[in-house]
Structure 1
Amino acid sequence: MSDVLSERTDALRKAHSSNDDATDRQLLLLIGLVVVLASGVAAADLWHAIDHPRPIPHPGLLALVVIGAGVANRVKVYVRTRSSRNGTTWGEIPVLIGLVFLPHVWVILGAAIGVAIVKIIAGTALHRAVFSVAKEVLTASAASLAITVAGSMLEPGTLAATIIPVALGYAAISLVDDLVFTPVIAVASRSTLIQVFRKDLGDRMIAHAVRLATVLYVVEVLASGASPLLLGFVPLLIACLHLWHSQQLRTKEERRSWRDLATTTEELSSVELTQVLHVAATQGARVFSSDVVEIDLTASGIDRVVRAHGSEVVYDGPGPRKFAGVGAITAELETSDRSYQAGELVLGFHGRVKLNEFEQYKLKTFAAALCTAIRNATAYAELQRLNEQNAYDAAHDPLTGLANRRELYEHAALHFQGNTEDGVVALLLIDLNHFKEVNDTLGHAAGDAVLREVARRLADAAAPGDLVARLGGDEFAVLLVNLPTPALATHRAKTMLATLEGSVSVEGMQITVEAAGGIALAAGSGGVNELMRRADVAMYQAKRAGQQTATYVHAQDPADIGRLALGGELNRAVAEHEFVVDFQPIVDLGSGEVVSAEALARWHHPEHGYLTPIEFLQTVERSGRLQAFADAVLDQALDASDLWREAGFDLPVAVNVSPRSLLDPRFPETVLARLRRHAVPADRLIFELAETLTLSQLDVVGKALTGLSEAGVRLALDDFGTGVTPLSVLSHIPVHQLKIDREFVGAVQTSSEASAVIRSTVDLARSLHLTVIAEGVESEPQRQALWSLGCLAGQGHLFARPMSAARLLATLQRGTAGRPGVLATSLHEGGAVVRMSRRRSGGSGRSALPHLPA
């Protein structure tokens, strides 16, 4: 068990011991007070009897008083409480009758003797026996005083002289009995005086009335000298009333017990094992009125025992079980078919207790409910442990225990989303020098040992809040946060790399670890990928220079230098029409028919050849020539649409649009004007927008996109699944299509995660009535896998590479197996699908991408 649990158990044990000691002291003080008062009263009665001796007029009646008081005290209506088995008696009847006809002192002493004899015969504990005798003396003395005072104030021989003293005597007995007994029960059961007094008050008042009536009837018969036969039915009446009262109390107790059991069973429906055990232990004492409840889970393989005294858990820790003996009742915690055993439930009583049939059934029901609750909580805990383990494994490197690449990217993405307050953030990328030699010379086991030692040193040297990750192989990364100034990144990096300088002992050999590190400060744009790229550039600069560390500098970034050179050539490129557009067909994965085409811009550079948008788009966006570039691409795309439509292929054309273009308030009208000039319906144009937009960008471009959508232009979300806020994108702009990034398509056959992403994308699109297009379909198995996941359209080298508009037209006309417009064989079974050709003879027909079924 953990230290926390041990400390809690010690605290529980000390608290319970302290509470028990305090309760015992209070009980002893109360009992002592009662005994002292009774001793004084008894001494006064004895002195009065000796000083004023009086003969006993009816010795037989005195004997009946002694016997009746003892028997009535023994024959009780029992109701089990937490402290003891107590109940109501009929001892008031013989005492009051004796006080009417006999000298009071003999009645008081006789009743005390009768109770004492019964307690001795029953083997009652000494302190309880003394308390019972003392209480009998006090109640009888109080009744004696009330009868004497009332009798002296009334005229003898009248009916009132009989009824009023007896009634006052009975009231005195009941009052003193409550004053003596109620505090003792309240302390023993840890209840309040009001709670004890009010319990079953209505039933007690009825019983008092019946007893008083019985006493008055017997007294009247004896006083009037009537035939003793009139008293023959009194014992039968008392027996009937006793049985009726017993049944009333038991019925109420059973109802209360069932209510408690139902409430406790509901409270057991928890998934936390500790809560289940504590509720069962504390509520079990209330349900069964036991002094102790223990739950022992040893049988289920868990070394744990929970013990409760009353409503307090006093122990929760390892076994063995403590409570046993004659006062212990054990119930097995097992299922009905005995397939699962959780342990044992023990009810502890101070003294031998035998459960009746009802209590045994109740215990069996409670044990079954507790067993089910323990099994459910245990299963939930195991499931939670597995989920936590899976989550940990998904975010950590199995060899070193460090965070993996995925965890690093997610952690760094929080900074770019503005969800953290980490001050200056930087990335340190570390690569071990000559690590391959360790694997080749000493083997992979030695290499793994080196990697684990490097991971340990880096983790120990990391500052609070920094994240150390292993990216793979011998490459590590450290996300540095909470940097007061950018210059501190270099100092922090050198400190961490210095920890690797000490030799590593592997198989008795001392190996020196050398490493190079690249440092990049988090940029304002570009996200995690750009930060990683810059750190990688800096790391290779350090390796080439033979330095331990290097910090990323824009001026030394080959990619930035290239973009700077291209920026000076943009004016010439626009004027000389060096920007050209190729087209890649988008195909129905099921039928193989071309349903649209994507326009892909290229820069036909006179020196560098064909450049892709990745190589020049940022340069164009940062220059003042973005609008001219966008116009040139759109014109060529619409010209191609005219060409295909005139040849009978009415294909929508998709054009990539930069968010910067949408910031221009004139952009929507410019697009619509070009559509009118080329006589192309608006729904034949699709704008593709990168999913990596930020929320602030979405708020700005949303108005322009809504206007274009209302005019009929459709919108596709490109590279879906690679951004960080896809649902936010869908909620801000009127999307018609989702394009799955080629990274997931390429891994659809080998990665369950990629398949899950594609399936969830298809399900999302189906619920939103959107089209899903897969990018980068390279093989027939990929096509088959995508089709099985519900993706209906795709593009990639399997069908055709990007080509000019004229060449695409020729490809469409040629088709496959004599079927124009079809670039792949159909996946449908013969005759299962009726396909309508998209080829037309006129110029008014339209075609559309296949839509997912609702």
Structure 2
Amino acid sequence: MTIPMGALWLRLRQWWGLHAGARFFVTLAAISLVPVVALGTVMATQYRTELRDRGVAQGRLQAALISRLITDTQLESVTLKDGVTVRERSRLDRLADTQVDSGVISRFRLRGPDLRIVYSSDGSGLRYGPAVGDSTDLDGQSAADVLTALKGEPTASIVKTGSGDQNTEVIEAFAPLYNVLTHDLMGVLQVELPYAPIAAQMNAGLHQLYLALGTGLLMLYLVLAALVWWFTRELARTAARFEHQALHDALTDLPNKALFADRISQTATLVERGGGIHLGPGRRGGGAAVVLFNLDGFRDTNEAIGPLNGDAVLTTVAERLRDTVRAVDTVAGLGGDLYGLILAGVEKPDQIEAAAARINRAVEEDIVLDDVDVPIRVTGSMGVVFMPRNGTNAEVLLDRADVALHVAKTSHSKLVCYDDEQNNYDPDRLAMIGQLRAGIDNDELRLHYQPKIDQPGGRVTCVEALVRWQHPDRGLLSPDQFVPLAEQTGLIDDLTRWVLTTALRQLTVWRRVRDDLTVAVNISERSLNHLDLPQMVFDALNETGAAASSLVLEITEGALTSDPDRAGLVMQHLSGAGVQLSLDDFGEGFTSLSTLAELPLNELKVDRIFVQDMLNGPNDAAIVRSVVELGHNLNMTVVAEGVESAEILAALNELGVNAAQGYFFTPPLPSTEIMDWISANTPATMNGDEPPPQ
């Protein structure tokens, strides 16, 4: 409950006027505070002085260690009188990078016997200056310290650097540099260490000191404050109880519709500001999904088991939803059997698929009630909207989520996403679900193939199978027009099975002439997270007689993040049987390097977004270079997709990609044309290849 500042000030004045004991206590505490603060000031000053002395001693030790490290491993000269060699400078630069980047030191310099600066880690001050007595780059204290160092004793002091707002304190230390063989004095090492960490330690100690002093003051007024504290606490508890009741569902104790709408508005504000939503240490998400989850047929269940048991079911579902989502997410009870969820960082349909699968698994577990003889099992439907894609207004988002939920109910789908671009909520689009099922049965699907061109030789050893739908009324449809519908309704398994079998059957014909040819098939996130996917693949291999090593399964990076344990288990099973695995669209997801190293991957495909812009964007070029190096270090073949020009191909060859793919070579072609293209574009050194039969 938020209290306006004016009302808060009024309450404080009323409290002050009614409590004379409180006024006496505050006066006594103020008088007692004077000697305590004086004592604390003396102690704090002594503590600060001790820490500064400790910092100076640490600087002397650090300078001595670095000087020994430099003379033992970095320098070859007998003296620094004539400066350092190129080789010595390179070594010193590497040492500087290590020391400065670690934050141990700010910079260091080497001075010759006459105090001229012959090396500086930041490149500053390099000049042939005057002798020690006339040196202008050293103040009085520094000059005294460097003279002490010339006598063989490391020394240090705290000095200020910079000017104005940039003025900072550092520990400046000097140490002699001795030749390791002759033990003659070569010069002087000047090191600057940041004083801020020591100051922070000092401040922490002061905070502890102030805490101890504050504890003493607390003991003075503890008795007098006890009654006021009890009364204030009771008022706060009563206000919090009323506020909680006003904003939470009475049955499930979840946030109610009013609080849910407020949470949506708060999330939308974070999204609109562009800073993203905090998802955990070092992780932020740009958007969120708003989900309406409604139990299927709960009215009949409630009538069968009675209202009290029905309430127990609703409470159990609420607990399961709360346990399934993350701490950054929100679960709300919107009345009856309707629940609301805000899933932070979930911005795309493929991401909500994974979250919905986890929610459904949790909710659909049997519920055992004492008063009911048989376990109760409930299912639910979901309507989803994404912010900011579908809006940022709470009322609009809830209305659109309700539309998506209605479509899910009427189409008997577990999940429907409200998508303005794809109109997945449109009944006409949903009518395509039944048409797609018939299309699979009526052989309306087609496969086009796009080659992967080995680099730099130019030989084709793999073709990627891409599905098309020859719709009887709409013509040839691309995958993005029907594959998302298949993923939402469970038809994706039938579609994947058809693509696998058709592609492998065609491959067995082609391999009569090109026995090194392989075929790649894309696997959706939903299919990858099914434990029966390996058996589906093995059945297709057995049916067509194709070898497991001739099949490459391309998996998107996003499919690995939804359920990495399940996906890893499926991939291990497939790889163990000899199937090759490729990570597609790498670079646009958030796969960790540790996860990538543990997966049985054979191929890494650089996402087309970075490839197409690598000549114009230095960041994209750097990403492509890093992915190529990463893939090679992990013993993977690296394929660049989306190649659209000879200039891009030349740049990719310089980076060392193993293969390339894109419209620069050819768009996807039907099976009747792809092998003719391969034969016509075979390198001259391989003209003995004949086109395989179609």
Compute the TM-score of the two structures, normalised by the length of structure 1.
0.40
Query: Between Structure 1 and Structure 2, which shows a larger proportion of helix residues?
Result: 1
Identify the structure with bigger relative contact order (alpha carbons < 8 Å, sequence gap 6+). 2
Higher Cα radius of gyration:
1
Compute the TM-score of the two structures, normalised by the length of structure 2.
0.48
